[in-house]
Amino acid sequence: MRSEQEMMNILIDVARNDDRIRLATLEGSRTNKNIRPDTFQDYDISYFVTDMDSFKENDQWLDIFGNRVMMQKPEDMELFPSELGNWFSYLMLFEDGSKVDLTLIPIGEVGDYFTKSDGLVKVLLDKDALMKEEVIADDRQYWIKKPTVREFDDCCNEFWMVSTYVVKGLARKEILFAIDHLHEIARPNVLRMMTWQIGSEQGFTFSVGKNYKFIDRYLPKEDWEKLLSTYSESGYEEMWQSLFTCYELFRKYSKAVSTSLGYKYPDYDEAITKYTQNIYSSL
């Protein structure tokens, strides 16, 4: 695999040698000092260009980056509609394992880009001195945020209400329905509540990463193992046990947040738990 320096040299040289590219930026994890570098990090690059159409005429100009194993152009797909407006992106995996996510942006949309930015941006090249102030990358936007009273209550309400859909799916022997509601709605609220409890203990000044990928660093080993056990969804009994474990974890962490932040814990926990046990026992 090419080294980071080799890849960055190529990416910057392409921008430097092409008059259509006026500004180049690096985004994402490679700009984040709080992320341990590894070989799987993408190179998230944006080129701000004067002539979008000339780049899109063919893909030959991309060959300079290396031999591609696969490329996806999301804005040129029909099944998955574009979400980037006038921007155009190339997601490229190369033979050596390097991955570049390259986005072309009209030069007139520089301001819009920085307005939408998540803060993890580093300017690589600025031919026209468009940046009047220094751009410093930080991950502040991803820090754990202290929940409001309403947010805490909404999280509790969503978890316990959606749990009844999981129960219904299991009782009807509609396991895919149950799995989707547990995996896509119920468990994410367990993770959200866990994160709030971590923040209330350690401060709301850091991130647990995309998809909560670093949350295991802050959880007791026992709770981490219980959380992992809720991903056992291969059968009805496994799903019931995963749901009950989610109940246990959500109850523990939401009560801890309630105590720490002085928020009222909802009383429907007991009723939904009893409802679930009654359905489970009747099957």
Q: Any idea what DSSP says for residue 246?
A: H
CB 257 within 8 A of CB 154: no
Q: 39: pLDDT confidence band, cut at 50, 70 and 90?
A: confident
Q: 64: pLDDT confidence band, cut at 50, 70 and 90?
A: very high
Q: Is 66 helix (H, G, I), strand (E, B) or coil?
A: coil
CB 190 within 8 A of CB 247: no
Q: What was the pLDDT predicted at 156?
A: 97
CB 160 within 8 A of CB 166: no
Q: Residue range 240-257: average pLDDT?
A: 97
Q: Residue range 8-26: average pLDDT?
A: 96
CB 212 within 8 A of CB 195: yes
Q: Residue range 17-23: average pLDDT?
A: 97
State yes or no: pLDDT of 151 exceeds 90. yes
Element (H, E) at 38: none
State yes or no: pLDDT of 166 exceeds 90. yes
What is the percentage of the chain residues whose pLDDT exceeds 70?
100
Q: What was the pLDDT predicted at 165?
A: 98
Structural domain boundaries in the chain: 4-141, 144-282
Q: 38: pLDDT confidence band, cut at 50, 70 and 90?
A: confident
State yes or no: pLDDT of 44 exceeds 90. yes
The token duo for 208 is 């647990």
Superfamily classification of domain 4-141:
Beta Polymerase, domain 2 (3.30.460.10)
Question: Domain 144-282 belongs to what topology?
Answer: Four Helix Bundle (Hemerythrin (Met), subunit A) (1.20.120)
Mean residue pLDDT of the chain comes to 94
The residue assigned the tokens 């009222």 is 264
Chain segment 101-148, per-residue pLDDT in tens: 999 999 999 999 998 888 999 999 999 999 888 888 888 888 999 999
Chain segment 265-279, per-residue pLDDT in tens: 999 999 999 999 999
For 155-218, the DSSP string reads HHHHHHHHHHHHHHHHHTT-HHHHHHHIIIIIHHHHHHHHHHHHHHHH-SSS---GGGTTGGGT
The token duo for 127 is 């031919």
Q: What was the pLDDT predicted at 178?
A: 97
